[in-house]
Structure 1
Amino acid sequence: MPVTLNYLDTGGEGVPLVVIHGLFGSADNWRSHVKAWQQARRVIAVDLRNHGRSPHAEGMGYDAMAEDVIALLDRLEVPQAHLLGHSMGGKVVISLARLAPERVASLIVADIAPRAYGHDHDTVFAGLRHLEAGEPANRREADDLLGEHVKERAVRLFLATNLERAEAGGLRLRLGLDPIQADYETIMGPPAGEGSYGGPTLVLRGARSHYVTDEMLPALREVLPAAEIETLDAGHWLHAEQPEAFREAVERFLAGLAE
């Protein structure tokens, strides 16, 4: 049964751009990009299940998450959309394109390849669990708790976007941490579906990221044969590290498509 996702919709005419965040992210992380892109088109930013303000639910399979997005498109009466996904969100949009290609006008995949990856979030889970147990009263306490496990300040600031005020006071995580951690193996696995998506595709990758290396490109093109590859001077969070270059690359790609 699909989850009823939370979303931000700018309204407007034409084929919308649907933006899907990565692991531990949310639609809120994309507000500055949405504000810029909405000048030219309708933009819909989505909170995936167990993220942002969307409901918590068991199962983080890419088929299930793609079905959640399809159900949202149905609810909004959107027959077809441009899909942009970063990291885990990139696997969601690849899955959707494989499972329901008729719903996809184009794909923009940000710094992820359609393959399985190794485990590299152990310290993040440890930090989030420590924060959860510590019941911080404010953001400084939350940062101290996270910092006992997560040393990179930029990562702590990103994770702190998942904090909200608890009814009883203090701060709590709005993540569905239990189902995310229970299905972490699936999240790190390949996208759902089989075969390739041959429609217009842009793959943006970070020059300092290990997620889409040159060695991965032949396998990537088997799944996304029409992919244009563009490399930005950034790491994995390229949309945050190089926001203007990222926005401009997306705008150029979409402007070159006939709608």
Structure 2
Amino acid sequence: MLKQIEAGVLRIAYREQGDPGGWPAILLHGFPYDVHAYDAVAERLARDGARIITPWLRGFGPTRFLSLDTPRSGQQAALAADLLALMDALDIPRATLAGYDWGGRAACILAALWPERVAGLVTGDGYNIQNIAGAAHPQLPEREFRHWYQFYFHGERGAAGLAQHRAELCRLLWRLWSPDWRFDEATFHRSAAAFDNPDFVAVVLHSYRHRFGLVEGDPALQPIEHRLAAQPAIGVPSISLDGGSDGVARPGGSAEDAARFTGPFRHRNLPHVGHNIPQEAPAAFAEAVSEVRRMVGA
């Protein structure tokens, strides 16, 4: 069921499925995807007794800013603040969080900074909190070339390209990031409708510029960014999933991140799965969400 609620600086649109009295699970999509990434996952979790909340992130779908004066920030602290505000607005004191890409970042931040609000964490590609202070340091070329789109967004040519050709660009990213996923046009267009949000371009550009220290963040979010600069550990029960054919994630996956998870932790690699893990491997993703809440301390 599609619902909307005022939460923080947004009117967040979200889907609610499953048992209203069930254990809460919040599923968070990434860029350039939307809530449809979780269609099959939500069906499985509903059968496991969950109350599933799947929001459109800021800049996507029907989610809207409440004020024209609010900075259209895409920084990591904004995503986390939105998630915390949504949980407060829905009166959810504690939930199992699951996400990948932008959504995984929001989930990781809450797990690190507000662990009392997180029963368990499923994260695509491991520890997903940005190290902005170190972003200017070059990485090995094998990893750098995967981020060409981020460098493209740093300039005005890329900004114009995203504005004018958002569907074509996002379709290309889907293909490059998930080379073994044979999605059809209907599947893509169901999600691509979310990119017509009037703030999509501004939020995306700010996200990929802020993470490299090229633009200032929202001053209201600086306290969160200050805490994230310390690269805090994650102590809640966690499962990290890597897509074995992910075309944008780190070569070799995120197994090296295990030291950043100080609580119960499991890591899995999913062969022939790309970046959009929940939509490409819904059974494995849903199983991880159900499993993490049964881990010690969940």
TM-score tier by shorter-chain length is: 0.7 to 0.9
Of residues 11, 33, 37, the one that matches 2:41 is: 33
Whole-angstrom CA distance in 1 between matches of 2:91 and 2:24: 11
Structure 1 residue 3 corresponds to structure 2 residue 10? yes
Q: Find the aligned partners of 2:120 and 2:91 in 1 and give their Cα distance.
A: 18
AA partner of residue 207 (structure 1): G
Structure 1 residues 30 and 188, CA, compared in 2 at 3 Å: closer, same or farther? farther
Contact 1:51 1:176 (8 Å CA) reproduced: yes
- The yes-or-no answer on 1:223 pairing with 2:260 is yes
| CA deviation vs aligned residue, 1:67-88 (integer Å, no higher than 9, x gap) | 1111111111100000001112
CA–CA separation in structure 1 for the residues paired with 2:42 and 2:159: 29
For 1:106 and 1:256, locate their aligned partners in 2 and report how far apart those are by CA, in whole Å: 8
SS state at 2:98 partner:
strand
Distance 2:89 2:108 in 1: 21
Structure 2: segments with no counterpart, 5+ residues? 1-7, 66-70, 136-143, 177-181, 214-223
Work out whether 1:95 is the aligned partner of 2:112: no
**Aligned-pair RMSD on alpha carbons?**
3.4
AA in 1 matched with 2:241: L
The answer to whether the Cα contact below 8 Å between 1:87 and 1:112 also exists between their aligned partners in 2 is no
TM-score (norm 2): 0.67
Cα distance in 2, alignment partners of residues 13 and 21 from structure 1: 23
Separation (CA, whole Å) in 1 of partners of 2:296 and 2:53: 19
Question: Contact conserved, 1:204 with 1:232, CA < 8 A, in 2?
Answer: yes
How much has 1:39 moved relative to structure 2?
A: 1.7
Relative distance call for 1:108 and 1:188 in structure 2 (3 A) is farther
Distance 1:16 1:196, change over 3 A: same
Q: Distance in 2 between matches of 1:111 and 1:213?
A: 11
Q: Gaps (5+ residues) in structure 1?
A: 133-141, 165-171
Greater length-normalized contact order (CA 8 Å, ≥ 6 residues apart): 2
**Mapping of residues 39-58 of structure 1, within 5 Å:** 39-40=47-48, 41-56=50-65, 58=72
- State the match for 2:203 in structure 1: 179
Matching residue within 180, 196, 201 for 2:233: 196
131 and 245 in structure 1: CA distance in 2 versus 1, 3 angstrom threshold: same
Instruction: Describe the shift of the 1:112–1:252 C-alpha distance in structure 2 as closer, same or farther (beyond 3 A).
Output: closer
Counterpart pick for 2:123 among 109, 113, 128:
109
The answer as to whether partners of 1:112 and 1:211 remain within 8 angstroms in 2 is: no
1:26–1:163 Cα change, 3 Å? same
Which secondary structure state, in structure 1, belongs to the residue aligned with residue 9 of structure 2? coil
CA distance in 2, matches of 1:29, 1:211: 18
Alignment partners' CA distance in 1, 2:183 and 2:160: 13
Where does residue 131 of structure 1 map in the other structure?
165
Q: CA deviation at 1:162?
A: 2.5
User: What amino acid sits opposite 2:268 in the alignment?
Assistant: E
**Partner deviation per Cα, 1:26-83 (whole Å, 9 max, x = no partner):** 2233122112211221111111111121115511122121111111111111000000
Shift in alpha-carbon separation, 1:54–1:64, aligned structure 2, 3 A:
same
How many percent identity over aligned positions?
Answer: 23
Distance (whole Å) between structure 1 residues aligned to residue 57 and residue 84 of structure 2: 12
